[in-house]
Amino acid sequence: MDRKRDRIYLSPPHLGGEEILYVKEAFDTNWVAPLGPHVEAFEKECAKVADVKSALALSSGTAAMLLSARLVGVKPGDVFFCSSLTFIASLAPLAQMGASPVFIDSEPESWNMSPRALARAFEDADRAGKTPAAVILVNLYGQPCDMDELLPLCASRGVPVIEDAAESLGSLYKGRPTGSFGRFGFFSFNGNKIITTSGGGMLLSDDKEAIDKARFWATQARDKAPWYEHTELGYNFRMSNVVAGIGRAQIKLLDDRVARRRAVFERYARALADLPGVSFMPEPSYMRSSRWLTTLTINPEQSRGVTRMSIIDALAAENIEARPVWKPMHLQPIFEGAKYYEHGGDVSRELFGNGLCLPSGSSLSEDEQNLVIETVKKQFGA
Ligand SMILES: Cc1ncc(COP(=O)(O)O)c(C=O)c1O
């Protein structure tokens, strides 16, 4: 393999071949305008995968988050709770609406929101009489949150949950698909996700009326009238029929893509888990992660000078893309001073400090995986 020429990406798109047939169908039938039969069919297919009653195809996961926030009634001056260890799109729409985040730490068992820290945040909010407008649960790197511990804390106070399942399409919590646990949930079909439409998102809910409202907002909030009549302001957020065609071919491959990503994880774990200080992201027995990205931490006290950055740099020298774990939101300059509830020790800060993501694409060849493994091992002198 020519190491300089064949860059190994973190999570590149993996096309199956049929995408072009769906796109061609859209062209042949002149359904290249926004919306059309692929959009409707793709919505039904995603609703089935997530086991929800209704789905709305959108231009991005971020658009789905914004519409969820509007549906639960987030307004300026509100407070909301959100996992700190995530990508900024989990919360940027709410902050842009004038609401303030309170960040919740991760638990070491799943790397997702700590039930213990969430309980403390709620107790303080109860005492202050300031109920959050929403709780945003994020299924990180494909791993479901511990729903049975987190959801009752929200339900007992009537606080709506928005489930950010952007990274967890194809994952299960106690046998139930992610995306179905909040009042609203959503997937992302960004180019780096487990399946892609080249860019897009899917809003999910059992509340069909709410999804219809989101559909109205997502198409410029046009009232029923022969002319353009508006009593509300909306957005241009719908997915196009061409893009939905890509998604229809991709979603048929979901089981295969999950199996491949899980196999990549297993292979890395088998080859690297015994290196000093190396720990892979755990998977509690009652969850089935899609293993969207293989992530691991390097404990600097045991790793004989190897750090997550020295590994990332060594991989970069071989033209291999690897990344640090998400930088937690409570450490981001834009959210300086925001309230943060630790699990007991700042778990998300430590995961960021020591964690990295390895190339995890479902199209990664064995040779490419071997090169990643060899490069990491070399760092340890193994
Ligand atoms: C956790 C998380 N939330 C939200 C998003 C936003 O999705 P999109 O890129 O489709 O807007 C992403 C990915 O991009 C994500 O990883």
User: 231, 223 in Cβ contact below 8 A?
Assistant: yes
Ligand 1 within 6 A of CB of 243 = no
Tens of pLDDT, residues 80-128: 999 999 999 999 999 999 999 999 999 999 999 999 999 999 999 999 9
Report whether pLDDT(299) > 70. Answer: yes
- Report the side by side order of strands in the sheet with 355-358: 278-280, 294-298, 355-358, 323-324
User: 171, 290 in Cβ contact below 8 A?
Assistant: yes
Q: Report how far ligand 1's centroid is from the alpha carbon of 63 (Å).
A: 10
Atom of ligand 1 nearest to the CA of 65: 4
pTM above 0.85, yes or no: yes
Q: Which residue has the tokens 């804390």?
A: 153
Report whether pLDDT(315) > 90. Answer: yes
Tens of pLDDT, residues 259-283: 999 999 999 999 999 999 999 999 9
Q: Report how far ligand 1's centroid is from the alpha carbon of 156 (Å).
A: 29
CA distance 123 to 121: 6
As given in the structure block, the two tokens for residue 301 are 């006290």
Atom of ligand 1 nearest to the CA of 62: 11
Atom of ligand 1 nearest to the CA of 164: 3
